[in-house]
Amino acid sequence: MKLQGQIVDIKNKRIFKGEIIISEGKIKSIEEKEHDINQYILPGFIDAHIHIESSMLVPTEFAKIAVNHGTVATVSDPHEIANVLGIEGVNFMIENGKQTPFKFNFGAPSCVPATSFESAGAVIDSEGIKQLMANPDIKYLAEMMNYPGVLFDDEEVLKKLEWAKHYNKPIDGHAPGVVGDDITKYINAGISTDHECFTYEEGLEKLQKGMKILIREGSAAKNFEALIDLLPEHYENMMFCSDDKHPDDLIINHINKLCARAVAKDIDIFKVLQAACINPVKHYNLDVGLLQKGDDADCIVVEDLKDFKVIQTYINGELVSDHGNSKLQSIAFKNLNNFNTTKKQVSDFRIDSESASESASAKKQIRVIEALEGQLVTNELIEEATIENGNLVSNTENDILKMTVVNRYNNDEPALAFIKNFGLKEGAIASSVGHDSHNIIAVGVNDEMICKAVNLIIENKGGICAVNTSEEKIVPLPVAGIMSDQDGETIGKAYAELDKMAKQLGSKLNAPYMTLSFMALLVIPSLKLSDKGLFNGKDFKFTDLILTQE
């Protein structure tokens, strides 16, 4: 097979008219040659850190969409399914991914459960990490979220790190806001990357201390603008990633969009493509071609080096996407899940006020989670509680809504709190995609609506939904309660409709379900809710909803 166009030689920082000969999946030759074909050929894009599960698609369905954007490989942390099903879930992702030519590179989830402050469906201890690290299909130790465990020399954490070193596999980091002596110790433990930087200064310090920094732009967490100015000077030590990418978002764009945004800022094209195509291969030792003689023919053809509109995508010389039409096929698979709670009562979502017997003028102050647009971090607010009939309730006028996290693995009482910035004026939204343990998380205007939404998730053994008094809509997620068994286009459209309904209910967030999913993510400060209670991520301990009166 022959490809002609403007060949982008990233290594030597040059672009030339040429011809590529591909045979048996490999690049046999690259030669300069005059022609009139005005298209560009370059290595395929790589998402350097993503949880495939966040797309709500199994790997084979994720691949069908991703190749349309020129993505040929991912560095994928199966942390989400591992928290539901353990090593069995990791193996499911590996085996499903092998059914397609797309190059998935899975890591061993280092934090299952992510913390001891929430209920998960499985445990992967240091012996489990040893087993995974010995597997050649496991390329690295995935993000070490338990940075306190690293800093305080937790024995089990250190054993996990040692097994990665024993097998000479990279260790990914996760250290939002960790700087100074703490980040120095974290790096010295052998941790080599971080995708959680949310300020320029944080990213710069970590780069200067030897870390590789990933610029993350997902469906909820968006750090591109904060970090992109680091790229011109530090391009050899930076990569692009999504971390979490919802299905409707994935249909629109992927790493190609980040390249376009970077070039629009007048950043040198070769530096941009070094981060997007080359650095992940070098850092993780991936079996992905870099458009060199003898390499696997993993390459893309784009219209220009401005918008990066993809004409064709090749993996191992196979045409997998042609003018936006994926050539990959859906693959049948055996479903698996872990959903063991039963339906709830409205009374389960009541928060009795200690001041119920006091006068109507008595005031109570409560801690409120402040969700932030485009961020995983939250703030802690102190607000006046709204009390009706001795029950702490939502205050839609001030956008302070009741929320819950319900244990999906056992029948326990729901944990309850309040959150600001979801903006709902009616109804409720809920999801069984609740990082990291994937319990049920819901936000609503009253207890009845919250109960209705939670029970809809339970009835379907997983999904995301929106409800009001007259309507209910759900996207079922029967695969581990976090992924669909449908094709990407179907789930993408269904998700978009659900997102639309959430916004019709009043949500003002760009990605309400993605933001919702992170409100139980305890390893990101500052205030979150687990199925066991309200959690202070800065002090790493539970805290009271109602403030003690002095």
Of the given ranges (120-124, 215-219, 360-364), which has the lowest mean pLDDT? 360-364
Instruction: Judge if 284 and 428 occupy the same domain.
Output: no
Instruction: Judge if 264 and 359 occupy the same domain.
Output: no
Write out the two tokens for 4: 């002609």
pLDDT of residue 362: 66
Tell which of 288, 309, 326 closes a domain: 288
Range of the domain at 147: 45-288
Q: What band does 512 get if pLDDT is binned at 50, 70 and 90? A: very high
pLDDT of residue 359: 46
pLDDT tens digits for range 58-104: 999 999 999 999 999 999 999 999 999 999 999 999 999 999 999 99
Q: What band does 357 get if pLDDT is binned at 50, 70 and 90? A: very low
Query: Is residue 358 predicted with pLDDT exceeding 90?
Result: no
Which of 97, 75, 505, 22 is closest to 301 using CA atoms?
Answer: 22
Instruction: Judge if 278 and 168 occupy the same domain.
Output: yes
Tell which of 288, 309, 324 closes a domain: 288
For the chain, what percent of residues have pLDDT higher than 90? 91
- The enclosing H or E element of 239 equals strand 238-241
* Sign of the torsion angle spanned by Cα atoms 154, 160, 166, 169: negative
Instruction: Judge if 209 and 66 occupy the same domain.
Output: yes
Instruction: Judge if 268 and 193 occupy the same domain.
Output: yes
Residue 409 lies in a domain: yes
Residue 316 lies in a domain: no
Average pLDDT, the chain: 95
* pTM of this structure: 0.93
Query: Is residue 40 predicted with pLDDT exceeding 50?
Result: yes
Q: What band does 392 get if pLDDT is binned at 50, 70 and 90? A: very high
The average pLDDT across 360-374 equals 85
Q: What band does 178 get if pLDDT is binned at 50, 70 and 90? A: very high
Query: Is residue 549 predicted with pLDDT exceeding 80?
Result: no
Query: Is residue 360 predicted with pLDDT exceeding 70?
Result: no
Instruction: Judge if 146 and 251 occupy the same domain.
Output: yes
pLDDT tens digits for range 182-241: 999 999 999 999 999 999 999 999 999 999 999 999 987 899 999 999 999 999 999 999
Instruction: Judge if 431 and 512 occupy the same domain.
Output: yes
Q: Measure the CA angle with vertex 140, ends 138 and 146; round to 5°.
A: 120
> Are 348 and 329 in contact, with CB atoms under 8 Å apart?
no
Residue 151 lies in a domain: yes
Residue 338 lies in a domain: no
* Sign of the torsion angle spanned by Cα atoms 205, 237, 176, 492: positive
pLDDT of residue 219: 81
Number of domains composing the chain: 2
The average pLDDT across 387-398 equals 97
Amino acid at residue number 273: L
Tell which of 242, 262, 288 closes a domain: 288
Distances in whole angstroms, Cα of residue 181 to Cα of each of 58, 151, 432, 484, 488 = 40, 10, 37, 43, 44
Instruction: Judge if 272 and 360 occupy the same domain.
Output: no
Residue 357 lies in a domain: yes
Residue ranges of alpha helices (H) inside 14-125 are 59-66, 79-85, 87-97
Q: What band does 550 get if pLDDT is binned at 50, 70 and 90? A: low
Instruction: Judge if 364 and 237 occupy the same domain.
Output: no
Residue 281: count of CB within 10 angstroms of its CB: 22
Residue 204 lies in a domain: yes
Residue 275: count of CB within 10 angstroms of its CB: 27
Residue 28 lies in a domain: no
CATH for 79: 3.20.20.140
Write out the two tokens for 410: 């056992």
Instruction: Judge if 253 and 401 occupy the same domain.
Output: no
Residue 317 lies in a domain: no
Instruction: Judge if 166 and 59 occupy the same domain.
Output: yes
CB-facing half-sphere around the CA of 299: CA atoms within 13 A: 29
Instruction: Judge if 357 and 282 occupy the same domain.
Output: no
Contacts of 258 (CB under 8 A, 6+ apart): 215, 217, 224, 240, 276
Which of 492, 390, 545 is closest to 66 using CA atoms?
Answer: 492
Q: Residue 355, Cα to own-chain centre: how many angstroms?
A: 41
β-pair type (428-431, 463-467) = antiparallel
Of the given ranges (203-212, 409-418, 513-522), which has the lowest mean pLDDT? 513-522
| Rounded-to-integer distance, Cα 242 and Cα 195, Å | 9
Query: Is residue 173 predicted with pLDDT exceeding 90?
Result: yes
Torsion of CA 347, 352, 357, 358, to 10 degrees: -140
pLDDT of residue 235: 98
